C-alpha cells in the first residue's frame, strides 16, 4: 500500500485559452492528509477535477503508484479508488438519502439492489455524525449542512483509496467538523490518501499533515504543517502583500450621518430572525459569517425577492416592503443588486456584452423604447473605461469574456442606473487578483462619491480591509457588529461561531 502515492508530472490544463493549471508537479502519499491552499481561481478545483476524472490534462501525466492513469470519467476514477466530494454537491435532489448513497456503488443480486447495502449506507451516515438523517428522506428537503454530511457519508461508503474533499465542511458546525475529522483520521490510519481543500486555516491546522499552496494555476510550495506561520502562508497564497491588493482606508463616516438603507427587525421563514442593519452614504458595510447563515437571504429580502418578509425595510425613508425588483431599480428608489451567481442570475450569457449592459436600464426608458444613442450609452462608455473592461467587440456574447470581465459587465449594468444603494453578493468569487484589486478600488471610489455599498463576502480579507463595518451573521440573525480596530481575522472567525460556543456552554 505504501507505494500507492499519487503523482502529477508537469500537468497543464487550460479552458478556452485561459490557463487554469500550468506545469504542475504534485505528489501526495497514502496515510496522510494533504491540504491544498490557494485563492479562488488558484487552480485547486481544476486539480481536483483532473484527479477525479471529470476533465483530462492537456499535457503532462498523472500516475498512481507509478502507473500512468488517464480517467475519462468520474466512474473510471472511482473504480480505481479515487473518490471526490465536490463543492457543488453531487447529490441527486429528488432521490432519497439512501438511494443517493447506494447508487454510488450499488451491489445487486439477481438485478435487485441488495437490502444489506442500505444497512451499510446507514452505518456510513452514523459514522459521520448524521444519525438523525433518515435513509428515506429526500435530499431536496435537507439543509445544506445535512447535504454535506450525506455527501461525506457517500464518499466514505465507497471505500476510497484517495479521498478528495473540496470545501467539504464549509456548512458544518464545529462539532460536526470534529466528528468528520474523526472519520478522516480513521481513514488516514487505514492508509487512505486524503486531499483536503478548505478556506478555514484552523481546520487545516487541525487535520492536515502537509500543505501545498497554489497560486494562479501554479504549485508554489509544499511544506509540513507548522513549518510556516499563517501570515507567511497567506503571503504565499496571494503572492503580494495585502496593502497592494486593497486601496488605502477611507476616513470613517461619522455616526451622525443618516442611514440610506435602514433594515429593522426583518424575519423570513426560519432563515432570518429579527435582522436589523443600516448603511450610511459613503459607507461600505460588510456582511460576513459562515456559509448560509442568512447573509444571502437578507440581500434577497431587501431586493424584494422573498415573499412573506416581516419587519421594516427603508431606503432614504421610503418603505420598500412588498416592492419587487422592477420597482426597486427605478431612480426614485435607486437600489441595485449584484447577485451571487453571475452566470445564471447576473447575466444572460448568450446575449452580447452591449445588450447585457443595457438590460437593467430597459425598464426606465419611456415606452420601453431603446435609447440607443442617448445619455445612457454615453454613461456606459464612461463606465467601460472606468472599469477597464477588456473585450473584443461589444457585440460578442458576454459568455466569451473572462470571469472577471463578466463581473465588470454585471457591475456596469447596474452602475449605469446610478443607484443610491448597491448590494453586492460575493462579487469577487472566482476572480483573478488583478481584477479583484480593480473592483476594490471601484467600490471605494463609489463609496467616496456617496453611495451606500453593502458587501456580502466569504472572503475575510475583503471584509477586514475594505469595509467600515461588518455585520457577522449566525443562524439567521446578526451575531455581532464589528468596526474600526475590532475588525480582525480572529474577531471575525470568533464572531462567526461566537453564538454557537455560547450555546454549547449553556448546554453543558
Partner 1 sequence: MTWLRQNAREAIAALALVVLFAAYIAIHPRGFSTYVVTIWSNDGTLLGLAAIAQFFVVLVKGIDLSVGSVVALTNVVASFVLNGSPASIALGMVAVLAVGVACGLVNGIAVVYGRVQPIVTTLATGGMFSGIALLLRPTPGGSIDETMSDALTYAVAGIPVSAIVLVVVLVALLVLLRRTAVGLGLYGVGSSEQSAYMTGLRVNRLKLFAYASSGFIAALAGIYVSMVTLTGDPNIGPSYTLNSIAAVVLGGVALSGGVGSPIGAVIGALILKTISSLMFFSGLPPLAQPFFEGLILATAIALGALGVFRVRSRLELYR
Site string for partner 1, 380-419 (x = CB under 8 A): ----------------------------------------
Q: Is residue 292 involved in binding partner 1 (CB under 8 A)?
A: no
Q: What's the min distance (Å) between Cβ of 122 and partner 1?
A: 17
Report the residue number, 136 or 434, with the smaller CB distance to partner 1: 136
CA-nearest of 130, 235, 135, 236 to 177 is 130
Site string for partner 1, 31-70 (x = CB under 8 A): -----------------------x----------------
**161-169, 223-231, 300-308, 386-394 -> range binding partner 1 (CB under 8 A):** 300-308
Dihedral in degrees, nearest 10, Cα atoms 355, 356, 358, 361:
140
CA 440 remoteness from chain centre: 18
How far apart, in whole angstroms, are the C-alpha atoms of residue 115 and residue 483? 56
SS (H, E, C) 346-410: HCCCCCEHHHHHHHCCHHHCHHHCCCCCCHHHHHHHHHHHHHCCCCCCCCCEHHHCCHHHHHHHH
Q: What's the min distance (Å) between Cβ of 44 and partner 1?
A: 17
Report the residue number, 282 or 339, with the smaller CB distance to partner 1: 339
> Residues near 451 by Cβ (< 8 Å), separated by ≥ 6?
281, 282, 419, 420, 421, 422
**80-88, 284-292, 389-397, 498-506 -> range binding partner 1 (CB under 8 A):** 80-88
What b-and-e string marks burial along 179-191, b requiring 16 or more CB atoms within 10 Å of the CB?
Answer: bbbebbeebbeee
How far apart, in whole angstroms, are the C-alpha atoms of residue 349 and residue 181? 40
Cell reading at 398 = 458576454
Residue 162 in contact with residue 81, Cβ under 8 Å?
yes
Contacts 24+ apart (CB under 8 A), 432-435: 432/41, 432/216, 432/402, 432/403, 432/404, 433/39, 433/216, 433/238, 433/239, 433/240, 433/245, 434/404, 435/404, 435/405, 435/407, 435/408
* Other Cβ atoms closer than 10 A to 501: 11
**116, 136, 252, 363: which one contacts partner 1 (CB under 8 A)?**
136
Q: What's the min distance (Å) between Cβ of 104 and partner 1?
A: 5
SS3 307: coil
Q: What's the min distance (Å) between Cβ of 348 and partner 1?
A: 12
How far apart, in whole angstroms, are the C-alpha atoms of residue 133 and residue 193? 28
Site string for partner 1, 140-169 (x = CB under 8 A): --------------x---------------
> Residues near 26 by Cβ (< 8 Å), separated by ≥ 6?
7, 8, 11, 47, 212, 219, 222
Q: What's the min distance (Å) between Cβ of 182 and partner 1?
A: 25
> Residues 301 to 320: which contact partner 1 by CB under 8 A?
304-308
Report the residue number, 338 or 383, with the smaller CB distance to partner 1: 338
Q: What's the min distance (Å) between Cβ of 350 and partner 1?
A: 16
Report the residue number, 68 or 73, with the smaller CB distance to partner 1: 73
Q: What's the min distance (Å) between Cβ of 148 and partner 1?
A: 14
> Residues 86 to 115: which contact partner 1 by CB under 8 A?
86, 88-95, 99-100, 102-106, 108, 111-113
Count of residues engaged in binding partner 1, rule: CB under 8 A: 40
Site string for partner 1, 418-457 (x = CB under 8 A): ----------------------------------------
Q: What's the min distance (Å) between Cβ of 493 and partner 1?
A: 29
| Dihedral pair phi/psi, residue 399, rounded to 5° | -65, -20
Q: What's the min distance (Å) between Cβ of 75 and partner 1?
A: 4
> Residues 339 to 358: which contact partner 1 by CB under 8 A?
345
Report the residue number, 342 or 408, with the smaller CB distance to partner 1: 342
**4, 13, 34, 300: which one contacts partner 1 (CB under 8 A)?**
300
Report the residue number, 270 or 393, with the smaller CB distance to partner 1: 270
Query: Among all chains, which residue has been given the C-alpha cell 454530511?
Result: 149
Q: What's the min distance (Å) between Cβ of 94 and partner 1?
A: 4
Question: Pairing between strand 18-28 and 6-15?
Answer: antiparallel
What single-letter DSSP state applies at residue 258? P
Q: What's the min distance (Å) between Cβ of 81 and partner 1?
A: 12
CA-nearest of 190, 99, 175, 170 to 138 is 99
> Residues 246 to 285: which contact partner 1 by CB under 8 A?
268-269
Q: Which residues bind partner 1 (CB under 8 A)?
A: 54, 73-75, 78-79, 84, 86, 88-95, 99-100, 102-106, 108, 111-113, 136, 138, 154, 268-269, 300, 304-308, 324, 345
Amino acid at each position: 500500500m505504501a507505494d500507492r502515492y499519487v503523482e502529477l508530472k508537469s500537468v497543464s490544463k487550460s479552458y478556452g485559452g485561459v490557463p487554469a493549471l500550468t506545469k504542475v508537479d504534485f505528489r501526495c502519499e497514502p496515510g496522510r492528509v494533504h491540504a491544498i491552499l490557494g485563492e479562488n481561481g488558484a487552480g485547486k478545483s481544476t486539480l481536483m477535477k483532473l484527479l477525479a476524472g471529470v476533465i483530462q490534462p492537456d499535457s503532462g501525466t498523472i500516475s498512481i503508484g507509478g502507473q500512468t492513469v488517464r480517467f475519462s470519467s468520474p466512474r473510471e476514477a472511482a473504480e480505481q479508488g479515487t473518490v471526490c466530494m465536490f463543492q457543488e454537491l453531487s447529490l441527486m435532489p429528488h432521490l432519497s438519502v439512501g438511494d443517493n448513497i447506494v447508487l454510488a456503488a450499488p451491489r445487486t443480486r439477481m438485478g435487485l439492489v441488495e437490502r444489506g447495502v442500505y444497512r451499510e449506507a446507514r452505518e456510513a451516515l452514523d459514522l459521520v455524525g448524521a444519525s438523525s438523517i433518515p435513509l428515506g428522506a429526500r435530499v431536496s428537503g435537507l439543509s445544506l449542512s445535512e447535504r454535506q454530511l450525506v455527501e461525506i457519508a457517500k464518499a466514505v461508503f465507497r471505500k476510497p483509496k484517495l479521498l478528495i474533499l473540496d470545501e467539504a465542511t464549509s456548512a458544518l458546525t464545529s462539532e460536526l467538523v470534529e466528528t468528520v475529522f474523526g472519520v478522516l483520521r480513521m481513514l488516514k490510519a487505514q492508509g487512505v490518501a486524503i486531499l483536503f481543500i478548505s478556506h478555514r486555516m484552523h481546520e487545516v491546522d487541525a487535520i492536515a499533515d502537509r500543505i501545498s499552496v497554489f497560486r494562479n494555476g501554479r504549485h508554489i510550495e509544499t511544506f509540513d504543517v507548522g513549518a510556516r506561520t499563517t501570515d507567511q502562508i497567506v503571503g504565499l497564497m496571494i503572492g503580494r502583500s495585502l496593502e497592494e491588493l486593497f486601496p488605502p482606508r477611507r476616513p470613517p463616516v461619522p455616526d451622525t450621518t443618516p442611514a440610506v438603507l435602514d433594515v429593522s427587525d426583518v424575519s423570513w421563514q426560519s432563515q432570518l430572525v429579527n435582522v436589523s442593519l443600516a448603511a450610511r452614504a459613503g459607507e461600505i458595510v460588510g456582511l460576513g459569517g459562515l456559509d448560509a447563515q442568512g447573509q444571502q437571504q437578507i440581500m434577497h429580502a431587501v431586493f424584494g425577492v422573498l415573499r412573506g418578509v416581516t419587519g421594516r425595510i427603508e431606503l432614504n425613508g421610503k418603505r420598500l416592503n412588498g416592492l419587487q425588483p422592477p420597482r426597486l431599480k427605478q431612480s426614485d428608489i435607486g437600489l441595485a443588486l449584484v447577485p451571487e451567481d453571475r452566470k445564471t442570475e447576473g447575466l444572460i450569457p448568450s446575449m452580447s456584452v452591449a445588450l447585457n449592459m443595457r438590460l437593467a436600464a430597459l425598464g426606465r426608458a419611456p415606452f420601453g423604447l431603446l435609447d440607443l444613442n442617448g445619455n445612457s450609452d454615453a454613461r456606459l462608455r464612461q463606465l467601460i473605461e472606468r472599469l477597464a473592461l477588456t473585450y473584443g467587440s461589444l457585440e460578442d456574447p458576454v459568455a466569451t469574456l473572462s470571469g472577471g470581465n463578466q463581473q465588470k459587465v454585471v457591475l456596469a449594468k447596474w452602475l449605469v442606473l446610478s443607484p443610491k444603494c448597491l448590494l453586492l453578493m460575493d462579487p469577487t468569487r472566482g476572480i483573478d487578483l488583478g481584477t479583484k484589486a480593480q473592483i476594490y478600488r471601484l467600490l471605494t471610489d463609489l463609496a467616496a462619491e456617496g453611495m451606500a455599498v453593502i458587501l456580502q463576502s466569504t472572503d475575510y480579507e475583503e471584509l477586514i480591509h475594505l469595509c467600515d463595518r461588518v455585520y457577522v451573521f449566525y443562524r439567521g440573525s446578526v451575531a455581532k457588529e464589528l468596526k474600526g480596530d475590532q475588525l480582525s481575522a480572529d474577531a471575525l472567525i470568533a464572531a462567526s461561531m461566537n453564538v454557537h460556543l455560547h450555546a454549547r456552554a449553556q448546554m453543558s
